[in-house]
Amino acid sequence: MTGWRPRSTRSAIAATSVESRMETIRLGPSFDRYEELLALILKSFAYMDGRIDPPSSSHALTAESLRRRSEEEIGFAATTGPDIIGCVFCKPEPDCLYIGKLAIDPAHQGKGLGRRLLAAAEETARSFGLPALRLQTRIELTENHATFAAWGFVETSRSAHPDFTRPTSIEMRKTLSTKATSSKA
């Protein structure tokens, strides 16, 4: 049989194919696909429903609020062909770049797309002369803590949402090297 490959080989080829076709674009005035971006974020964050308390702030997002956010912050979208498969929003702060709404389509998770979006955030931080990245993740999402730790983030504090007496979020930071490094996804 020609064309047949073991499942693991086919998966590796498919992942490489998506990776090689992925493009990271900066959201700007000509970007008009906020409904798709919203759908991506909701799909990516859906696994949190019923796991985190309070519920994710993603439920309060709208296409219009994402458009406004892209004007106030620095947004990136990962695309492959016509599909939006990932995004991240970045906000410069006095001593770091805040990373928010890092979302990867569940069908494309585990293929290095998060690392590529993080590399865009790191490049942005360096362009602003900022020495670190900062993010928050929910306390219940231990798999996210492990992923961010593997990417070089360390826990710096815990905090509680209003009306909660227990910690609900973990803040993590990544100190950037002084020179840009190539990031392989």
Structure tokens at 1: 């049989």
**Domains of the chain (ranges, CATH numbers):** 19-175 (3.40.630.30)
- Rounded CA separation 46/154 (Å): 25
Could you tell me which of 83, 135, 123 has the C-alpha nearest to residue 104? 83
Could you tell me which of 121, 143, 117, 119 has the C-alpha nearest to residue 130? 121
Structure tokens at 44: 């990516």
Structure tokens at 169: 């979020």
10-residue mean pLDDT profile of the chain (185 residues): values are 38 48 90 96 95 92 95 95 95 97 95 94 97 97 95 97 96 86 45
Bridge partners of 93? 96
Rounded to two decimals, the pTM is 0.83
